């Protein structure tokens, strides 16, 4: 049976790390909305050109355009057995659009669809954000408390210098959580009502959370 997963959770809850692990575990593509849009812009596709005009102005990319990009990606052959969707949907409007997209690409096929919610206390999340560092060279993400490098300030993968993003501070982190809980948290109720929501405790090491995730996706 085809398996389809979406990941829900606030910033710094660990979705990205676990998405990559789950994609390798099942052999499914990890469909990241942000990366898709950047790829469209780089390739100068029609969708990419339109998206760039909004992004350059600091505006949100229209829901219909994001939906079109998602639909094109999920319609590709490597998604025929399943996929893991990361960063979408982020609102009830997008969730309803995803239902329409799935209806087309699934074409009546029986599907095991689950929304995985990463539940984590806000104080832990803020601690993760202010201690987050990324490699200036390859982009690998680390955390001074939960995932430190072997050599302080140096990336394990490429030897690049670690930097802290300007928006990785407590004030901005709290603002991002307010946005998340206002716009995205209603999806928890939406998918609970559809009986497809699975909640995991996202507090703990990467391996501990991974074991909990495997229990709800099998």
**Active site amino acids:** 15, 90, 132, 165, 176
For the stretch 160-163, contacts whose Cβ atoms lie closer than 8 Å and that sit 24 or more positions apart, written own/partner, are 160/135, 160/136, 161/135, 161/136, 161/137, 162/133, 162/134, 162/135, 162/136, 163/133, 163/134, 163/135, 163/136
Nearest to 134 by CA among 106, 90, 111, 167: 167
Q: Are the C-beta atoms of residues 202 and 9 closer than 8 Å to each other?
A: yes
Q: For residues 119 and 66, what is the distance between their CA atoms, to the nearest angstrom? A: 26
């Amino acid at each position: 049976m085809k398996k389809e997963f979406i990941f829900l959770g606030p910033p710094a809850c660990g979705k990205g790390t676990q998405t990559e692990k789950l994609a390798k575990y099942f052999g499914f593509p990890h469909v990241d909305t942000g990366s898709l849009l950047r790829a469209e812009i780089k390739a100068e596709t029609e969708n990419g050109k339109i998206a760039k005009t909004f992004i350059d102005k600091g505006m949100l990319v229209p829901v219909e355009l994001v939906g079109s990009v998602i639909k094109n990606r999920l319609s590709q052959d490597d998604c025929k057995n399943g996929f893991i969707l990361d960063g979408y949907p982020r609102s009830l409007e997008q969730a309803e659009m995803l239902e329409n997209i799935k209806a087309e690409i699934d074409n009546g096929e029986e599907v095991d669809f689950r929304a995985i919610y990463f539940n984590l206390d806000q104080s832990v999340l803020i601690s993760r954000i202010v201690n987050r560092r990324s490699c200036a060279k390859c982009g690998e993400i680390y955390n001074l408390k939960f995932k430190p490098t072997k050599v302080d300030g140096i990336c394990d993968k490429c030897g690049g210098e670690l930097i802290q993003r300007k928006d990785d501070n407590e004030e901005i982190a709290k603002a991002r959580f307010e946005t998340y809980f206002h716009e995205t948290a209603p999806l928890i109720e939406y998918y609970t009502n559809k009986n497809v929501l699975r909640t995991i405790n996202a507090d703990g090491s990467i391996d501990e959370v991974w074991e909990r995730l495997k229990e709800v996706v099998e």
